[in-house]
Structure 1
Amino acid sequence: MTTINFEALFSASPNPYVLVDLSLTIIGMNDAYLRATMRQREELIGRNMFDAFPSDPDSPSHRQLRGSFDKVIREKSADYIPLIEYAIPLPDNQGFEERFWSATHTPLFNEAGEIAFILQHTVDVTELHRLRNLAKSTVLSSGPSALIETDMFRRAQAVQQANDVLNAEQQRLRGLFQQAPGFMAALSGPDHVFTMANTAYLQLIGRENIVGKPVREALPEVVEQGFIGLLDRVYHNGQPFVGRSIRILLEQGDEDVQDERFLDFVYQPIFDPNGHVSGIFVQGHDVTEQKRTEQALRESEERFRAIADSIDQMIWATQPDGFHDYYNQRWYEYTGVPDGSTDGEAWNGMFHPDDQERAWSVWRKCLETGAPYHIEYRLRHRSGAYRWVLGRAQPVRDEEGRIKRWFGTCTDIHDFKQAQDALRESRERALRTEEETSRLASVLAERVTELDAANEEIQRFAYIVSHDLRAPLVNIMGFTSELEGAQAEIERLYRNIRQSDPGLLSPEARAAIEADLPEAIGFIRSSTAKMDKLIGAILKLSREGRRVLAPEPISMAQMFDAQRRSVAHQLLERGTELVVEPVPDLTSDRLAIEQIFGNLIDNAIKYLHPSRSGRIVVRGRDLGSSVVYEVEDNGRGIDPKDFERIFDLFRRSGVQDQPGEGIGLAHVRALVRRLGGTISVSSRPEEGSIFTVALPSHISMSSEAA
């Protein structure tokens, strides 16, 4: 701290001087000041200036003097008061004497360049002021001397009036500054010393008393975050810096606790009259909450996109007026057009020219009435050919029944339409045999079944998408953590009471604290963990569903042999044999084939019968254009009523004594369908099960669902 031998410096001066610190506490004064104020040194030392010389806080003189001191602290430069009326108390409590003063306030700096004290130089101009008033009303008002004095006071009053106006405006601006909704602060000098900070700024940083401190000292945690470097750059190059959603970590009370905030702000350089940067003005807004209706929305959209992209159908969505603004990845894979090129009304240009007017007419009527959209049209495939597609859409409404969005699907039915045409031609020409007609009818029936099943799966996914999967779970986990914290406090209080006065505890309270509460919290925690695991599994499933298929020749005997080696440890541990009989090869996507049969074999091992040695047999046969594989086991078996539900997401059959989320067989069926095949099961409880997978011998474009 800088020390000053005040008496040694100013004791000989005939002019009154007083020295105060930044809190306006009187540190010292010379004899001339004591004579002018008619006070003793011990009466003033250590007292606040406004306590030693009291005045009405709302009086012009009080505000004028307070404003001058504040200006010196804020701007770090001297301030001059040409004329101020300020009464001083007379000795022995004899009242107050009216006095008029002229004062200069000069800042004194320490070795670090910080303001340490303020030196007040005062001149008592009471007599001169009275003389001037007397001159205005008597003959003394004539003559050169009176004119000079009158002119001097006129100038002094003009300066004082201007200062009064400026001070009033300054107070108004400081009020606006303090009440501004955004955070603001002013920094001075190369060390970026705080000279002002409004209420919003202090609330943001969670601390007070920063005026007069450099940023490095007031906010030490921002140094390593790069903000000092930004301030230095603005100060030296004179160019403002604008930040958008900038992340900052601020200490809140406990130094180990940091609050993450996101800010929009500007560092604006302040220039002195010579054009040099003298400081920096900081202004901005806390956008943390907005960054978070945005992060939550982004995560929700990502979940929707992940699920939508994992579905074999093309998914699209529009605004209430029908403006198309979303397509899933399958749409772009199927059509081969660039992302975003079919937004708005451009989707209609993807249809066959003969179908465009009809499709637009049906869609416009649905928009007007809110009726579900259902149409068949020819859509341009990435190969350049037009393929028949089934288009469907449903409106999503709010609580008041207003349409918020339209969600639709496109399903490739080209093979189905071709089969219909072929059947029609066969009937018209009567050239096909009854066997061929039966086969076509069977193909049609299978395709219809597949389409219905696919549409049902879309509805299930739409239901999942319509609910926020993770937000409620996160809230439950958070509140569970709070309950666990409260449980610890309750148990601590419980132990204290049990030790001090056990009679206060009823049996019901003991049971609630010792058993019921831990059991309830444990149940909530295990349930949320299971739900989180399920959501993770769905996301994994969606990622795998977006993969582009890569057909290649596959030796199925080698593939099954590799899978047998991968589960050898499980087979040995469970006393089970895996027999692979002759199987036909095929051309398909290797990873999908491995996942299909890997899941089936794993399930067979998992659900073996506990009372007998396990036996799993894999066999297959070649049907020409297709191949059929069977995975048979002698395990627990499946109830016939569960044959379909075991292929649904999250649905399982029988006793739930094995780990799993009910996703594996749903994933298997989705992969089989994507490869253009089917899967079914036959089983008898307590005897075993046979899973039958039928696949094309060679995967083709037409088998890839859109």
Structure 2
Amino acid sequence: MTDTMPGGFSGGSDLLAGSGEMARFFRSFDWASHPLGPPQAWPDGLRTTVRIMLTTRHPMYIFWGSDHIGLYNDAYRAIIGDERHRSTFGMPGKQAWAETWHVIGPQIDYVMRGEGGTWHEDQRIPILRDGVLKEIFWTYSYGPIEDATTVSGVGGVLVICADTTRRVQQQRRISSERDRLHQLFEQAPGFMCIMRGPDHVFEIANRAYTDLLGKPALLGLAVRDAIPEAIDQSFVALLDQVYATGRAYVGSSQRLLVSRGEGTLPDERYLDFVYAPLVDETGATTGIFCQGTDVTDRLIAERAISESEARFRNMADHAPVMMWVTDPAGALIYLNRLWYQMTGATPETALGAGWRHVVHPDDLARVDAAFRDANAAEADYRLEFRLRMADGRYRWVLNAASPRFAESGAYLGFVGSIIDIDDRREAEQRTQVSESRFRAAIGAIQGVLWTNNAAGEMTGEQQGWSALTGQSPAEYAGFGWSDAVHPDDAAATVVAWQDAVARRRIFAHEHRVRRFDGEWRMFSVRAVPILDPAGAIVEWVGIHTDISQQRAAETALQALNDALEQRVAGEVAERIRVEGVLRQTQKMDALGQLTGGIAHDFNNMLGVTSSAFSLLQRRLGSADPDINRLIEAGQGAVSNAAGLTQRLLAFARQQPLAPEIVNVNHLVSELRKLLLHSLGKGIACDCVLAPELWPTLVDPNQLENALLNLAVNARDAMPDGGRLLIETRNIGDAAALPADAAAGDHILICVTDTGIGMTEAVRTKVFEPFFTTKPVGVGTGLGLSQVYGFVKQSGGSIDITSAPGEGTRIDLFLPRADP
């Protein structure tokens, strides 16, 4: 069977012999229309080369003629793929291989000029594959194809090639892995080296090895030449032994003296290392691998620890107290000599957990639990318990210990000491009995017991004082106790107290004290100094006795006598007189009870009076206009008096309240609209309201009345005009609250004016009922008292700051409502 090629070429010829796909492609190709023309007309050199190319399985390529027409075989086509086959076969080389022509073009021209063949190994020539320029490595030769018709005698170039990309990439990976291993070898924390041959010539040595010896230029030298000092220290003999026997040698803490140069002392190092033989495929030793660690610092540290432990044991055995040491698990590993002397135990019976046998059975569970907890927490340990002595008696001891740690932070166990405190415990028990008797005696006396230090400062737990006043230890500490004394009595009390301290005399005094419930009570105070043998004050023991009822009775009797002497007729006049006497004498100490009682009684009377006026109006009002006017005037007076009693009840914290959750910012904003029209043109009213202000539980009407009272007072304090500022704020810091404020979050309403201000004497009395700086007949003096009572009844606090010419600021603290 024959193939007929276009252009009249007969396939019977062996010119395009071969059974491969490219051979068939050549035979079916339309050569008649191609620049090369029919194959039978090709030069002999080209025809011969094509025949060879198509019958070999090695990748071959032909560049022919001045245009470098490209022809190739099956093996080459497999390399470039179908896409490149269709775009390059029979095409001029510069067009077919445009992306690589800058590399191969000059090489082809070199051969075409007749200057001989070329050889290229692992040449990087990227080519386009699947539309992407890929990095391909080639090993190839360019050989001339003879053609006598050309000037150079060369008609084309035969390319014999191989794709070496995979091999190059593999070599790269091997090289990278070798570099990485070398880097790891170099950076290894231990020293390493490889020595070859019977003379142990250094082939590889990492930095740790060269730094250890202080000799960076080791490679290529035999051990004897590189480290001559190692010969006399048996290291060379050990290498010879390993090389000869093929058995590894392991050295532990082996001493090496390293010479650092002339004129310097040898450096002493201690090494853990291994000499391991390297063998070839026959099992013969070819070298030695050395790997190790410099343990000099560790040995020095261990020696230091050993010496420290020896010093500790020597100190502990001569210590005047019992001492002990445990391991991390809590087992005793050491007890000093005094322990064994005191308890009669032996190391065999006491170490480990045996110490438990000399602890009192009633204390053992408590001691065990405390010790386990402290050991687990690696925390300080301190406990008192009873320990059995060598004579069988139990004595109280104080066992205290602290954890010990290694430099690495590892927990090593406890070191502790045991002190005999039996005599101290007995003395404490006697003291406790004595104190119990003393307190029992005091308990029989009706009063509140307290103690102060030599300087008169209250310290420690004062349960009686705290129960009486509600003050916490932090509040009454030092002279803080004076805050519970009535402001009018506090200064005199402190002066009298300091005088008694200075003179070392009994302190006797009377003053009012605010109880835990806010009520002021009158107390008789008596304190006696406790002196030491040298006559110096050790402390003061005092007692407060409530004499409020006695003083109230005396005051009432005096008021009755005064009333009889003045002969004031009429029940109303008498009540007003008694009220004035009581208000003047009792002031703030009994205002809660007194004011509330008076207000209720007065309110009852006003009810009777109001009913009487109503009856009179029905019966007589229409008969006589003058009588009607008098009745209306009386009813107006009753109404005003009722308002007065309401204010008194507010101060006494007995007014009926309707508390609810209130948005204070909203209330203040609405109130400002009213104030803008009522304060006058010369007074500006501004508000600074905190965003996200907490809610509070309060009666909104009473709060609004309180703020109106404060605004009116501010207006009166600014006759020439000024500025009224209302601010709100969240207070979560206890330090920002007044001393009498309850614990917890509060909101603050601050009312500030730029008015005339007030003196300190006036400031301390402004909350007292009926106290006023206004002229007689102008105001009742109950405005600020009502504000005070409302805030206190709402669970809050109030504070005032003022000075002459600097205006006044009043702070209302109200508790935050539960969310």
Highest CA radius of gyration, 1 or 2? 2
TM-score (norm 2): 0.29
Which of the pair is proportionally richer in helix? 1
Larger RCO: Structure 1 or Structure 2 (Cα < 8 Å, ≥ 6 residues apart)? 1
